Structure 1
Amino acid sequence: MNIIRIKRSTEKEKKLLDKMSYPVNIIFPLLTIPQVIEIFTNKSAEGVSEVTWILYAVMSFLVLLWAIADNIRQLIISQSVWLIMYGLVIAGIFVYR
């Protein structure tokens, strides 16, 4: 017995979701900007874990490689923006530690 039923998307719905994903894939990583601002305005990375942010960047890089290999444009955009944000946080950590 199948309790959960998942409706398959129509081609029109899939295209709409694909179009909606572009702004989300750019805006979502930009939510890291407050952390970047916090580090650089206070000139302190106290309480910010370099290991965590470096691991985020490594994992994001691996996903980016996979997205490039499979030519998944939305994921390439998203992971590229994430890597920029991670790079900024990591740079701030090493500058202000």
Structure 2
Amino acid sequence: MKGPVTIHLHRRKRGKKPSDPYPAPNFWIRLLDRTAIVAGFIGPIMTLPQIGEIYYFHNAAGVSALSWGAFAVLDLPFILYGFVHKNTLIKITYIGWLVANTAVAVGAIIYQ
């Protein structure tokens, strides 16, 4: 006898559409894809001045360890999502954010 979970999974399989082609045929979607890739790499890099201020000058004035620690913890579900859905862009982006946010949070704890 099939349970409700098994029936649900089979219905999901039947209703699943193939994924969109990459690169997309539409210019604007290709532009959006490329912009997302660039933003995924630049975002965590933009945290480097904050990390430098904390570790080079030993100055964490005005930096909330709680906020940056929370940002780091909230990166974990996105990393897990990237692994589950096999999306390398999400994995790389949020691992970068996790490293950057953790570095700021630890520095804020050490130098306050």
Pair in the same fold by TM > 0.5: yes
Instruction: Give the root-mean-square deviation of aligned CA atoms.
Output: 1.9
In the alignment, structure 2 segments of 5+ residues that lack a partner are 1-22
Cα deviations by residue, 1:9-64 (Å, 9 ceiling, x for unpaired): x9223445334432321111111111111111221212111110011001111111
Q: How far does residue 65 in structure 1 lie from its aligned partner after superposition?
A: 0.8
Name segments (4+ residues, structure 1) moved above 3 Å: 13-17
Correspondence for 2:88? 73
**TM-score scaled by length of structure 2:** 0.68
Structure 1 segments unaligned to the other structure (5+ residues): 1-9
1:80: Cα distance to partner?
0.8
Written as runs of structure 1 = structure 2, the 5 A alignment for 1:1-97 is 11-13=24-26, 14-97=29-112
Q: Which has the larger radius of gyration?
A: 2
Q: Greater RCO between the two (CA within 8 Å, min separation 6)?
A: 1
Aligned sequence identity (%): 27
- CA distance in 2 between counterparts of 1:80 and 1:15 reads 24
